[in-house]
Amino acid sequence: MTMLYFDFNATTPLSHKAKMAIQGMLDQFGNPSSRYRLSQNLVTLIHQAKESIAQLVGGSSERIIFTSGGTESNNLALHSVFSQLPVGQLSRYHAICSAIEHSSILEPLRWYQAQGLKLTVIEPSKTGRIDPDTLCNAITPQTCFIALMAINNETGVIQPYDKLASRLKGKGIHLHFDAIQAVGKWPMSSFDDIPLTISFSGHKFYAPKGIGGLYYSQQVKINPLLHGGGQEHGLRSGTENTLGIAGLAAAAKEAHEELMQRINYCREMRTYLLTQLDEFGVNYHVNGETNPEYQAPWTLNISFPGIRAEALASRLDLCHGISVSLGSACSNNSQSPQRSHVLLAMQSPHDYIDSALRISFGHVTEQHEVSVLANALQQETWHLLAIAGEQRI
Q: What is the pLDDT along the chain (393 residues), one digit of tens a residue?
A: 679 999 999 999 999 999 999 999 999 998 888 888 888 889 999 999 999 999 999 999 999 999 999 999 999 999 999 999 998 899 999 999 999 999 999 999 999 999 999 999 999 999 999 999 999 999 999 999 999 999 999 999 999 999 999 999 999 999 999 999 999 999 998 888 999 999 999 999 999 999 999 999 999 999 999 998 889 888 898 989 999 999 999 999 999 999 999 999 999 999 999 999 999 999 999 999 999 999 999 999 999 999 999 999 999 999 999 999 996 445 555 555 689 999 999 999 999 999 999 999 999 999 999 999 999 999 999 999 998 776 554
Same domain assignment for residues 218 and 326? no
pLDDT score of 393 = 44
Q: Give the dihedral sign, CA 207/211/216/218.
A: negative
How many residues are given for the chain?
Answer: 393
Nearest to 96 by CA among 159, 139, 132: 139
Within-domain flag for 53: yes
**Strand bridging mode 299-303 / 285-287:** antiparallel
Nearest to 207 by CA among 52, 334, 312: 52
Asked if 128 contacts 100 with a C-beta cutoff of 8 angstroms, the reply is: yes
pLDDT score of 128 = 98
Same domain assignment for residues 240 and 326? no
Which residue range forms the structural domain that includes residue 48? 16-253
pLDDT score of 142 = 98
Distances (CA, A) of 305 to 4, 225, 260, 382: 24, 45, 34, 11
Nearest to 212 by CA among 73, 358, 364: 73
Same domain assignment for residues 170 and 199? yes
pLDDT score of 190 = 86
Beta-bridge partners for 197: 176, 216
Same domain assignment for residues 146 and 292? no
Distance (Å, whole) CA 223 – CA 56:
24
Residue ending a domain, choose from 197, 223, 253: 253
Q: Which amino acid is at 254?
A: E
Same domain assignment for residues 152 and 24? yes
Distance (Å, whole) CA 162 – CA 95:
19
Contacts of 41 (CB under 8 A, 6+ apart): 28, 30
Same domain assignment for residues 158 and 289? no
Same domain assignment for residues 291 and 192? no
Distance (Å, whole) CA 8 – CA 12:
5
Count CB atoms within 10 A of the CB of residue 80.
23
Query: What is the maximum alpha-carbon separation in the chain?
Result: 73
Residue 319 appears among annotated catalytic residues? no
Within-domain flag for 178: yes
Same domain assignment for residues 209 and 307? no
Residue ending a domain, choose from 205, 231, 253: 253
Same domain assignment for residues 193 and 58? yes
Same domain assignment for residues 311 and 382? yes
Within-domain flag for 169: yes
Within-domain flag for 109: yes
Within-domain flag for 393: no
Distances (CA, A) of 270 to 109, 156, 336, 345, 362: 34, 12, 32, 24, 10
Same domain assignment for residues 180 and 232? yes
DSSP one-letter string for 242-253? HHHHHHHHHHHH
Nearest to 313 by CA among 304, 321, 325: 325
What is the CATH classification number for the domain harbouring 318? 3.90.1150.10
Residue ending a domain, choose from 224, 253, 282: 253
Q: Which pairs with CB-CB distance under 8 Å and at least 24 residues apart come from 22-31?
A: 22/208, 22/243, 22/246, 22/247, 24/246, 25/242, 25/243, 25/246, 26/243, 28/242, 31/239
From the candidates 136, 144, 319, 330, give the one annotated as an active-site residue. 330
Compute CA 82 distance to the chain's CA centroid, rounded to the nearest angstrom: 23
Number of domains in the chain: 2
pLDDT score of 162 = 95
Same domain assignment for residues 244 and 272? no
